[in-house]
Amino acid sequence: MQLAFQDLHEYLNRKQHELTDANDLLQKYRGLNDRQRNVVAHALRHPDAEYTVQAHKNVNNIAYDTARNDLLDLVDRGLLNKEVRARTYVFTVSDKIIAHLHR
C-alpha cells in the first residue's frame, strides 16, 4: 500500500511538472488558439510526435485550411518544424520545445 501511494505521488508530481512546463511555454506565445495550445501541450509530453494537417483537421473537426493555418503558424513561431514527405506536410516538434524540456 505504501508503495502504491509513493507511485501515485510521483505520478502526480510528474504531471504537475508537465502542466507547469506547458503553461510556462504557452505564456511566451500569446495569441495561440485552443487547438494550437493543445498541440504544444501534446508536443511537450511527446517530443517525438508528428502532426499532419489531415490529423489536426479530423481531431478538431475543422476545415483543412484552418488546420493548415494553425500548424503553419506554429512553424512561424518556431514551435514546430515542417517537412514534406510523399507530398504531405509533416510537422515535428521544434528544438525550441525540446530545449524547454531540458531546462
pLDDT tens sequence across 35-65? 999 999 898 888 899 999 999 999 999 999 9
pTM greater than 0.85 (yes/no): no
Cell 493555418 found at: 69
All domains of the chain in start order, with CATH: 2-101 (1.10.10.10)
Evaluate whether 73 touches 56 at the Cβ level (below 8 Å).
Answer: no
pLDDT above 70 as % of the chain: 70
Query: pLDDT tens digits for 65-83?
Result: 999 999 999 999 999 999 9
Helix, strand or coil for residue 52?
A: strand
What is the sign of the dihedral through the CA atoms of 5, 7, 10 and 15? negative
